Amino acid sequence: MEKEEDLRRFKFKWTLPRLIVQLISLLAVNALVFTQIYPYLNLKSIPFGLPILASVNSSFTAVYSSLDLIQMELSQPEFPWIVLGTIFLIGAVVGRAFCGWVCPIGFIQDIITTLKGKLNFISPRTHKAAKQVKYLVLFVTFLISGSLGITLYLGGGSDYKNALGIFASGPFIAISPDGTLFGTIPALLTMVRENFGALIARPPTIQEVWAGLNRIPPLPALRIIILVAFFAAAWKVPRFWCRYVCPTGALMAVFQKYSYAGIKRDPVKCTKCPHCEVRCPMQINILDLPWEKFNDPECIMCMECVDACPHGSLSLKFP
């Protein structure tokens, strides 16, 4: 009995290792920001895709989102063999773990939830329906990019491409919040910094500010609205974007169900207490899943449930 208590007291926790990986990933994915601080650094982006949100529209991005590269290659038109192969390999081994451990947008949502200090959950019925939205976003993205790629490959499609405008190189790229957060916002801040002296010398009037806001084109305005909605939703519901909107999450969810890595629950130790489900940021009904091994499509392998279990009944499992 005493030995069991000691084991429980010194139980390994995943929280700190995951936090370290998330911090390193945030800096590594946006490594080109260091060239703004240290111009002599010879850092360049790598045309390699990972199943995360890392916009090609950001001047700070060192590696890109797999979905962004797929959209861009289809608009060339080229078939994204390497990107799809990478997705298949990562998905087959760790499923959606990159969502929980590497994605900067996921990390930002975790920070917001931590600052709030509690998890809010929505009704099971609404949750079940809302989960399907991300698959719709993924379908529309592939429908537009795929149809454009096919028509261009067959020798036509130039009119279609012109009609799509900025959406031709990627319908989701154009409105993704990561592109706004790490691309549009830094560009605006740079513009303000460069004109800071003039703004201090002659502050704009309210009428001038209002006129300037009215001159903002519809697409940048939509991007900012989506970004604001992203932060508001993340404050309201943990991992809202990952749960309900992210097309990359939808794509990796297909692989998560059959991935090599999973989580198992020891039925002897488990007392069916709700600690694991209460802690889960993706609102998964863990106790309803098979105890031998579960790979729920919504699971991001964050290991929060494993840390939350007071009985040590949950653990990482590789078949």
All structural domains of the chain with their residue ranges: 2-263
Q: At what angle do helices 66-74 and 247-256 cross, to 10 degrees?
A: 110
**Contact between 142 and 74 (Cβ < 8 Å):** no
- Letter for the amino acid at 224? I
- Per-residue model confidence (pLDDT) at position 10: 61
pLDDT band at 1 (very low <50, low <70, confident <90, very high): very low
What's the gap between Cα 229 and its chain centre?
15
Instruction: Give the rounded percent of residues in the chain with a pLDDT score beyond 90.
Output: 61
pLDDT tens track for 145-183: 999 999 998 888 788 888 988 888 889 998 999 888 888
- Per-residue model confidence (pLDDT) at position 212: 66
pLDDT tens track for 274-297: 999 999 999 999 999 999 999 999
Q: Which two tokens stand for residue 298?
A: 């919504």
pTM: 0.88
Residue 232, CA atoms < 13 Å, CB-side half-sphere: 6
SS3 317: strand
Residue 208 has pLDDT above 50, yes or no: yes
- Is the bond leading into 281 cis (omega within 30 degrees of zero)? no
pLDDT band at 301 (very low <50, low <70, confident <90, very high): very high
**Residue with more model confidence, 35 or 16:** 16
Residue 97 has pLDDT above 60, yes or no: yes
Residue 198 has pLDDT above 80, yes or no: no
- Letter for the amino acid at 249? G
